[in-house]
C-alpha cells in the first residue's frame, strides 16, 4: 500500500536537475563511462503504488472513509505513517486504533474503495510509464512487485493499457510476472517479494531458452522506505524515487526526485556502479 503526492516545485526543474538528486555512487547513470556497461539489466522490477502510479490519494481517502464509517479515529499523519505498508501492518494499525472489523473485512473495504478511486482517476508518476515502455521495447524482462493485492494490481494495469499504447507500446503485457501482496509471502520490507520475483523471472528465462538471471543484475524501482529496504535486502540495484517519504541514507544505489528523463542507459550505469561496490 504505497503511493504519493508530488512536490509542485519538481515540475519547474529540468530533466537533468530532477535525475540523480542523491547517489551513493556520486555519479548519475548518464555520467557513467559507457565502456563499463556489460549489457542491459537482467530485469527491471517495479513497485506499483507511488512509483508507477500515484494512487496514494485514493489510499488516504479509503483509510479515512473506512475508519470514519465505523467511528474510529484516523488522521492524515496516520496515513502518511502507513505509506509502503503491507496488509498485515495496515490491519494491525487500524485495529489498534479501534476498528472492530476482521482483517479480511478491512482489506476488502480498503481495496474496494481504492479500485473505485482509480476507475475515476489514475495519475501517472512522472517518467515512470515512459521508462517502463522503454524497458519493454529493449526486451528487458519486467516484474511488478507490490504489496497491493492481485485484483487491485490487475485493475491498475488495465487502466495503464491506453497510456502505454500512446507511448508506442503494442507488444502485449507490460510485465512478464506480477508478485502481489496476496501470494502468502512475507510483505515488504522483507526481501521475499523481490527474491521471489527474481526466481520466477529466471525460471521463465530458462523456459524461453535463455540463461538464468541474477538479482544482482536486476534493477528495482521503489518510492517508500519499506520498499527500498526490501529491494536492498534482496540484493538488487535499487533506484529510490522520492514521493511522500524521505529516502536518503537508506542503502539505495541512487535516490532521485523523479523518473522524468531517466533512460535504460541510466539503469545500466547504476547497475554497473552497484556491482562494482
Residue located via cell numbers 481504492: 114
Domain boundaries, the chain: 14-54+123-275, 56-120
Backbone phi, psi, residue 6, to 5°: -95, 135
pLDDT single digits (tens) 73-104? 999 999 888 887 778 889 999 999 999 999 99
C-alpha cell at 56: 496514494
Q: Which fold has domain 56-120?
A: DNA polymerase; domain 1 (1.10.150)
pLDDT beyond 60 at 180: yes
> In the chain, what percentage of residues exceed pLDDT 70?
86
pLDDT score for 163: 94
Helix (H) or strand (E) holding 193: helix 192-207
- Output DSSP code: residue 83: T
* Check whether domain 14-54+123-275 has CATH 3.40.50.1000, yes or no: yes
pLDDT score for 36: 40
pTM, rounded to two decimals: 0.79
Backbone phi, psi, residue 222, to 5°: -140, 160
pLDDT score for 13: 36
pLDDT single digits (tens) 118-149? 889 899 999 999 999 999 999 999 999 999 88
pLDDT single digits (tens) 205-260? 999 999 889 999 999 999 999 999 999 999 999 999 999 878 877 899 999 989 99
CB 115 within 8 A of CB 123: no
Amino acid at each position: 500500500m504505497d503511493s504519493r503526492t508530488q512536490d509542485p516545485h519538481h515540475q519547474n526543474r529540468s530533466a537533468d536537475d530532477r535525475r540523480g538528486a542523491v547517489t551513493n555512487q556520486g555519479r548519475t547513470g548518464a555520467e557513467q563511462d559507457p565502456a563499463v556497461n556489460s549489457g542491459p539489466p537482467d530485469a527491471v522490477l517495479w513497485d506499483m503504488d507511488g512509483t508507477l502510479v500515484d494512487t496514494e490519494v485514493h489510499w488516504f481517502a479509503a483509510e479515512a472513509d473506512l475508519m470514519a464509517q465505523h467511528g474510529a479515529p484516523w488522521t492524515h499523519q496516520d496515513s502518511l505513517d502507513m505509506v509502503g505498508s503491507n496488509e498485515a501492518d495496515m490491519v494491525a494499525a487500524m485495529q489498534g486504533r479501534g476498528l472492530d472489523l476482521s482483517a479480511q473485512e478491512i482489506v476488502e473495504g480498503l481495496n474496494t474503495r481504492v479500485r473505485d478511486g482509480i476507475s475515476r482517476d489514475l495519475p501517472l508518476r512522472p517518467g515512470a510509464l515512459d521508462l517502463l515502455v522503454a524497458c519493454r521495447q529493449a526486451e528487458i524482462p519486467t516484474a511488478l512487485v507490490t504489496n497491493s493485492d492481485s485484483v487491485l494490481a490487475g485493475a491498475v494495469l488495465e487502466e495503464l493499457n491506453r497510456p502505454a499504447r500512446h507511448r508506442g507500446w503494442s507488444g502485449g503485457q507490460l510485465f512478464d510476472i506480477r508478485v502481489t501482496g496476496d501470494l502468502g509471502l512475507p510483505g515488504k520490507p522483507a526481501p521475499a517479494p523481490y527474491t521471489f520475483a527474481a526466481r520466477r523471472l529466471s525460471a521463465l528465462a530458462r523456459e524461453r531458452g535463455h540463461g538464468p538471471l541474477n538479482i544482482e543484475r536486476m534493477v528495482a524501482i521503489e518510492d517508500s522506505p519499506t520498499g527500498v529496504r526490501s529491494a536492498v535486502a534482496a540484493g538488487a540495484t535499487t533506484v529510490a524515487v522520492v514521493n511522500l517519504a524521505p529516502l536518503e541514507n537508506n542503502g539505495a544505489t541512487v535516490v532521485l526526485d523523479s523518473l522524468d528523463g531517466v533512460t535504460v542507459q541510466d539503469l545500466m550505469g547504476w547497475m554497473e556502479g552497484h556491482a562494482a561496490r
